Structure 1
Amino acid sequence: MELPDHPLTEARRYGYVEDGGVWLRPTLGQPARRIGQVKDTDDDALRYFGQRYEAFRVKIDELLDRLQAADNQGSFLMKLLHLQEQCKQHDGLGDYEALHRRLQEAEQQLNVSVARNREKNLATKISLIGQAEALRDTVEWITASETVKDLRQAWLKTGPVDKGLTEELESRFHGAVQEFFDRRKAFQTDRKALARRTVERYRELVNQAEALKNSDQFEATSRQLKQLQNAWREINGTLPKKQAAELWTKFRAANNHFFERLKKHIETQRPAEVRPGATPGSPEESLLRKRELAKRAEALIALPPNQGVTQAKNLQAEWKQSGAVRGPESDQLWQRFMLACDKVFEMSWPCYKKTWASSTLRAPTTSFGSCYRVRFAPLSGKFKLKRSSSHSFSCRPRANLCLWVYVAPLKLTFSNLIPSIFFSF
């Protein structure tokens, strides 16, 4: 018993042989059409065109399988439409209507999926546009440039949207990106111009410093160089590292050159007895300086009171900077120095007697019978009345004249203050 020839049976179901040709029966709304001719036998011809149909069906099956597994299914739409047209023109014997229905169903499902994807794509592109437009005012150029790069890549990977919205969205996104690049270009142009101006300002300061480095007007030049240093700090410009280092080296070299000369000049102007045999900053040098200051203080007694007071103040400031020295001679120098200064201040008392006599000191109402310390500074001409917490006093040299008074009346003037003086030094 022979087995049934299934391919031949299927081929005869959808086609036939007539006048030496192979015909496909009416299908898909089209009349019967001749698809080939018989070369050997009728059965062989029918089997051949049946195999052609099977190959076409396998091709469609593979496409539908890939469609189901694809992430971007929208790219299969044109292939589905093309295969539907091929079903009407393909030369084979088989159920083309069934294949056509499968392709139509896949197209419908694909359209639903595409619609959903386009909604997602629309939301994604709107988000990307918002991020691009948010960079409108940023000045973080490096970070923003990386962000724009990522946004452009994400835009290219995002699928299409409805055709009616495509042009508008493309215009907004690319417009925002282009605006960012235009702003960045303008910033870079301005930065280059600013860098040129900064270099010019630094070079001008360098030239001024180099013009002053050999000046012999040490005091005035020192002030000018200090001003140049402040101006250098105020520029606070950003330059390439190599260029900035070169300018700073020249500027610093000019300053160092002048101040080294100033240091040598100061050394030559110091008193002769301070320099020989004494290490700078050593106790020996400090002792020599204190000896000189004591002599200079004693010499002030011969000067007019106003001049003597001013110079005594200056000597006191120098004494504080002369350094610490221990030993009996240091104490003796201190006594000599302070007694000389006190003498100068006491000599200045007549100059301020008139001011003192016209001054009125008022004690608190609860201070009857209290002791007060009257202190005045000859340079400022100001007098202060301070209540004492103790009736015992110590007498030691002071730079300013001080009076201890016993307050009996409520109102004190110079005329009734003198009889109540306990100590004057």
Structure 2
Amino acid sequence: MSNESAQPAPGAAPAGASGDWGRVAEDGSVYVRTADGERQIGSWAAGTPQEGLAFYQRKFDGLKAEVELLEQRLSTTNLDAKDADAAVTKLREALKDAHAMGDLAALEVRVDKLAQIAEQRRAAKREARVKQQAEAATHKERIVSEAESLAESSEWKSAGERLRALVDEWKGVPRLDRKADDELWGRFSAARSAFAKRRKAHFAQLDAEREEVRVRKEALVEEAESLAESTEWANTAQRFRDLMRQWKSAGRAQRDTEDKLWERFKTAQDTFFTARNSDLDQRDAGFRENQTRKEELLVEAQKLVPVSDLRAARSALRSIQARWEEIGPVPRDAKPRLEGALREVERTVADAEQAEWKRTNPEARARAEATVRQLETSIAKFEKELERARTLGQQRKIDDAQAALDARHEWLAQAQAALDEFTR
């Protein structure tokens, strides 16, 4: 209770003052009117009763302004429920036995409404939190499920990157209650650990395999380097081809090791083949005359085609072949063409020999003659059957005999043509 007091001026007559919500008595006592009657809220002696009345009305206006300010904050801002509760509690304390003159009951009603709004804010906040927790639980369950599916993946790079992204995603999701959050995190951590363990084992095995490859390729390189100065052109060239096949089938070592080994292997290979090609180029220069002579022989051989006199063609070809061998090697770039063309002539003469053998084969001729005789006998038989069927008027047998005759006449023409080939 306020005890503001002051001594009246000498000679002043005390007097009271009254307003809508209270009064200042002649003795300076200040009262506020409530539904339960008057309640003394102070004592005024610092001035006139009217000034005291105004003073306590201003104190009410201050309380009213605080209520209006809280109303405005609740209606226009997202004031936290906790802060709203604190403000309502403070106002209620201020209104309880307030030393102010005005409609305190109306202010209390307004404060009660503000308390209801604060409770609604609190309920909405609880509902939002429940919803947020449910969404967070669903989100984290999805993260964990995806991590568990990735735990068995062998796509090491993409799966590893995705798991790292899921960790960042997890950090952005609100926490659940401790038990639920710890359980989901335990599953998530176990999935990541399982993937990391499998990946580590995979690359350890890969490193072991690459080490085996390195040892094999090191041996290939050493052999290649030992062959680099060889002058056994044919055998060494074949061995280099074998080494290359082994190299390709050996697998790959670590990248930097692989590159270094390949550089050594290729250097050895290039050294050998450069020397071999230089030597062969020099030799080819001495074979140009042989090429010219074989070109001439090829022209002579190609004149035997087509074969009109087999005996003469065989004799001429044997002579050409003998001279061909005597001439000796030709340059490498000309060898396939020259030998291919001569082989073609040789095949043509061989085909003619085979056709002649078939034409003059006694056994084949005897079979052709026997076929002709057999068909002639069969034709004579069906001619008699046809004649007999015509005499008896048996149309079906006439048709059958005529069809058999037509077929055998055709076969006979073919067999006779084959027999004529032996008499040409």
Give the TM-score normalised by the residue count of structure 1.
0.52
Residues 370 and 174 (structure 1 numbering): CA distance in 2 closer, same or farther, change over 3 Å?
same
Match of 2:241 in 1: 226
Residues 243 and 319 (structure 1 numbering): CA distance in 2 closer, same or farther, change over 3 Å?
closer
Structure 1: gaps spanning 5 or more residues: 6-10, 22-37, 68-78, 300-317, 343-361, 372-386, 394-405, 407-421
Aligned pair 1:106/2:121, yes or no?
A: yes
Shift of 1:133: 0.8
Shift of 1:152: 2.8
Aligned pair 1:147/2:162, yes or no?
A: yes
Aligned pair 1:284/2:292, yes or no?
A: yes
Question: SS where residue 230 of structure 2 aligns?
Answer: coil
Structure 2 residue corresponding to 1:250, chosen from 264, 288, 300: 264
| 8 Å Cα contact 1:138-1:144 kept in structure 2 | yes
Aligned pair 1:204/2:215, yes or no?
A: no
Shift of 1:217: 3.8
Aligned pair 1:18/2:41, yes or no?
A: yes
> What is the CA–CA distance in structure 2 between the aligned matches of 1:388 and 1:217, rounded to whole Å?
63
Shift of 1:135: 0.5
Shift of 1:168: 1.2
Match of 1:158 in 2: 173
Shift of 1:19: 4.7
> What is the CA–CA distance in structure 1 between the aligned matches of 2:143 and 2:155, rounded to whole Å?
19
> What is the CA–CA distance in structure 2 between the aligned matches of 1:16 and 1:284, rounded to whole Å?
143
Q: Over aligned residue pairs, what C-alpha RMSD do you find?
A: 5.3
Shift of 1:163: 4.9
Match of 1:369 in 2: 370
> What is the CA–CA distance in structure 2 between the aligned matches of 1:58 and 1:263, rounded to whole Å?
99
Structure 2: gaps spanning 5 or more residues: 1-18, 22-31, 45-51, 96-106, 301-316, 324-333, 354-362, 373-414
Listed one character per residue, the Cα deviations across residues 336-383 of structure 1 (whole Å, up to 9, x for unaligned) are xx89xx9xxxxxxxxxxxxxxxxxxx99xx877369xxxxxxxxxxxx
| 8 Å Cα contact 2:297-2:320 kept in structure 1 | no
Shift of 1:233: 0.8
Listed one character per residue, the Cα deviations across residues 120-160 of structure 1 (whole Å, up to 9, x for unaligned) are 33222222211111101212233223322442333333344
Residues 197 and 103 (structure 1 numbering): CA distance in 2 closer, same or farther, change over 3 Å?
farther
Match of 2:338 in 1: 322
Match of 2:26 in 1: none
| 8 Å Cα contact 1:50-1:92 kept in structure 2 | no
* Matched residue type, 2:287: R
> What is the CA–CA distance in structure 2 between the aligned matches of 1:262 and 1:44, rounded to whole Å?
117
Shift of 1:275: 1.0
> What is the CA–CA distance in structure 2 between the aligned matches of 1:268 and 1:114, rounded to whole Å?
92
> What is the CA–CA distance in structure 1 between the aligned matches of 2:155 and 2:318, rounded to whole Å?
66
Match of 1:46 in 2: 60
Match of 1:88 in 2: 89
Residues 193 and 12 (structure 1 numbering): CA distance in 2 closer, same or farther, change over 3 Å?
farther
Aligned pair 1:214/2:222, yes or no?
A: no
Match of 1:71 in 2: none
Greater Rg over alpha carbons, structure: 2
Listed one character per residue, the Cα deviations across residues 370-403 of structure 1 (whole Å, up to 9, x for unaligned) are 69xxxxxxxxxxxxxxx9984466xxxxxxxxxx
> What is the CA–CA distance in structure 2 between the aligned matches of 1:237 and 1:179, rounded to whole Å?
28
> What is the CA–CA distance in structure 1 between the aligned matches of 2:94 and 2:246, rounded to whole Å?
93
Residues 319 and 101 (structure 1 numbering): CA distance in 2 closer, same or farther, change over 3 Å?
closer
**Paired residue total:** 294
Residues 58 and 185 (structure 1 numbering): CA distance in 2 closer, same or farther, change over 3 Å?
farther
Match of 1:66 in 2: 78
Residues 132 and 261 (structure 1 numbering): CA distance in 2 closer, same or farther, change over 3 Å?
same
Match of 1:261 in 2: 275
> What is the CA–CA distance in structure 2 between the aligned matches of 1:16 and 1:390, rounded to whole Å?
149
Question: SS where residue 18 of structure 1 aligns?
Answer: strand
Higher mean Cα deviation, 89-98 or 144-153?
89-98
Residues 44 and 220 (structure 1 numbering): CA distance in 2 closer, same or farther, change over 3 Å?
same
Question: SS where residue 233 of structure 1 aligns?
Answer: helix
Higher helix share: 2
> What is the CA–CA distance in structure 2 between the aligned matches of 1:388 and 1:113, rounded to whole Å?
107
Question: SS where residue 369 of structure 1 aligns?
Answer: helix
Residues 59 and 322 (structure 1 numbering): CA distance in 2 closer, same or farther, change over 3 Å?
same
Question: SS where residue 158 of structure 1 aligns?
Answer: coil
Residues 49 and 231 (structure 1 numbering): CA distance in 2 closer, same or farther, change over 3 Å?
same
Residues 319 and 217 (structure 1 numbering): CA distance in 2 closer, same or farther, change over 3 Å?
closer
| 8 Å Cα contact 2:228-2:269 kept in structure 1 | yes
Match of 1:410 in 2: none
Question: SS where residue 66 of structure 1 aligns?
Answer: coil
Shift of 1:18: 3.2
Shift of 1:13: 7.4
| 8 Å Cα contact 1:286-1:323 kept in structure 2 | no
| 8 Å Cα contact 1:132-1:148 kept in structure 2 | yes
Aligned pair 1:123/2:142, yes or no?
A: no
Higher strand share: 1
* Matched residue type, 1:322: L
Match of 2:406 in 1: none
Residues 260 and 247 (structure 1 numbering): CA distance in 2 closer, same or farther, change over 3 Å?
same
> What is the CA–CA distance in structure 2 between the aligned matches of 1:257 and 1:392, rounded to whole Å?
67
